[in-house]
């Protein structure tokens, strides 16, 4: 079968320019809206059910997270995800790390105001009572306060 009349000239000048991949993983600290406080894995313990807290930003390995926009996870140590235990959806539920498993309780969306909303719960990652001391993070009804704002790695 022959194809006649096909013109390639329209594609001869086709170029692909480099740009920013919107699905590329981003690695770095995750500062909160509370001055000098970052998301932290106490003592860097990479194990299921380890609590996640805020701590003074220090660029230690316990504060280096990977945000993967393609799947909505925020990871540490490659295989552990920021996780809401037992798929909890109630205010005050603690946040931990757990082996990544694709659950909606491990997926997060950054909203335009800087808050991080959990896909499973619909609630935001929260620093209780705007604490500027190390404290465990939890989920709470989104309110746009500085205690719910986070800067994901870019």
Is there a contact between 54 and 39 (Cβ–Cβ < 8 Å)?
yes
pLDDT tens for each residue of 95-148: 999 999 999 999 999 999 999 999 999 999 999 999 999 999 999 999 999 999
Contact partners, residue 68, CB within 8 Å, separation at least 6: 23, 25, 26, 74, 75
Contact partners, residue 28, CB within 8 Å, separation at least 6: 64, 65, 153, 154
Q: What is the CA radius of gyration of the chain?
A: 20
Q: Please state the pTM of the whole predicted model.
A: 0.84
pLDDT tens for each residue of 140-151: 999 999 999 999
């Amino acid at each position: 079968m022959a194809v006649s009349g096909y013109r390639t000239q329209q594609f001869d000048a086709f170029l692909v320019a480099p740009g920013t991949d919107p699905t590329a993983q981003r690695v770095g600290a995750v500062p909160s809206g509370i001055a000098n406080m970052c998301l932290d894995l106490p003592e860097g313990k990479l194990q299921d059910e380890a609590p996640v807290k805020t701590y003074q930003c220090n660029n230690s390995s316990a504060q280096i997270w990977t945000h993967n926009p393609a799947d909505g996870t925020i990871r540490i140590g490659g295989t552990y995800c920021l996780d809401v235990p037992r798929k909890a959806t109630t205010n005050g539920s603690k946040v931990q790390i757990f082996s990544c498993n694709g659950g909606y309780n491990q997926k997060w969306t950054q909203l335009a105001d800087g808050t991080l909303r959990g896909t499973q719960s619909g609630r935001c990652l929260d620093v209780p009572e705007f604490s500027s001391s190390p404290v465990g993070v939890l989920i709470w009804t989104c309110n746009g306060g500085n205690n719910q704002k986070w800067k994901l790695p870019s």
